[in-house]
Amino acid sequence: MTHPLIAFEYCPRCGSHNFMINSERSRHCSDCGFTYYSNASASTAAIITNSKGEILLTTRAFEPAKGKLDLPGGFVDMNETAEDALIRELKEELNIDVCNPQYLFSLPNEYNFSGITIHTLDMFFKIEVDDDIKIKTDDDVASAQFYDLKLVNIEEIGLNSIKKAIKILKH
């Protein structure tokens, strides 16, 4: 995997090759003066539980970690709150309408996408749903099912931040 600052050799503003690593998270173009900062993308994940305290896990339809267990959620769009992003993603992925997600904690994550290391900051929210909720998976989710948290095998989970979050919830 390649850090984005190593991979991005040309200035995205003027195309110059005089685009040098400037700090741990920036490159500076000596031709046009532009400084590019490489920041983590904001992302969300939902800890959805039913009345039995079971947790909803999804199976990933695409890479990275295709076929592995995951939590529903996704990236925050520009000019969107994390709460609104999560509500939108749950509609897209599970076709459910939720309100009032409760913020729990955040974890940094990185994964490989097209050979580039993608850095994210994943924000986890708790949502309680009715036991008879109708879920219809779509988008990047292959399937979804409620699990007894004690029986979830951490090694079946694809992404490191999600593994860490499930470990936190198990304790």
- Going from the C-alpha of 131 to that of each of 20, 31, 49, 69, 71, the distances in angstroms are 55, 60, 9, 21, 18
> Which residue bears the tokens 């079971």?
54
Binding of residue 29 to Zn ion (CB under 5 A) = yes
Length in residues, the chain:
171
Instruction: Choose which of 11, 76, 82, 129 interacts with Zn ion (CB under 5 A).
Output: 11
Site for Zn ion (CB under 5 A): which residue of 14, 20, 21, 168? 14
Residue among 32, 63, 81, 108 that touches Zn ion (CB under 5 A): 32
Compute CA 104 distance to the chain's CA centroid, rounded to the nearest angstrom.
15
13, 25, 68, 119: which one binds Zn ion (CB under 5 A) = 13
- Strands annotated E in 61-132: 69-70, 73-75, 102-113, 116-128
For residues 1 and 32, which CB has a smaller minimum distance to Zn ion in the complex? Answer: 32
Binding status of residue 20 toward Zn ion by CB under 5 A: no
Positions that interact with Zn ion (CB under 5 A): 11, 13-14, 16, 29, 31-32, 34
